[in-house]
Amino acid sequence: MDSDSHRSRCANGSHKISNRVIACGEQEARIGLRVKYWKIIARNLKRRGWSYGYVSAVDAEGRTIWIADAHRDDGKGFIVRADERLTAFAELESAIRARGDCA
């Protein structure tokens, strides 16, 4: 099963399998899909009250860079830049933990 077809079926966050509705994340683990670690970090940030965003861009030297940010309603926020998406999310989580803002 490719990830695009899985994502479309996962749009409402659940699946019905064998007359039992299970969460999308549980379904991914059950059928052995590769979990993307940056998604785990993003999910954890969301659970702790952070909103996040990310974008990739190409710098002046032709390299792809990733920029990720996290912010909360209380005005706290962080922005990081990295060469890979996972690294950007790991740096974001690290910056939040270093400041003791895990909520």
Burial string for 82-94 (b: 16+ CB within 10 Å, else e) reads beebbebbbbbbe
Q: Length of the chain, please? A: 103
CA–CA dist 15, 7 (Å, integer): 11
Residue pLDDT, tens place only, 5-56: 333 344 444 433 344 444 545 554 555 566 789 999 999 999 999 999 999 9
End-to-end C-alpha distance for the chain, whole angstroms: 37
Per-residue pLDDT, 33: 60
| Amino acid symbol at 51 | S
Q: Quickly list H helices, 1-103.
A: 3-9, 24-30, 37-47, 85-98
What are the structural domains, with CATH classification, of the chain? Answer: 1-35 (no CATH), 37-98 (3.30.160)
Name the pTM for this structure: 0.63
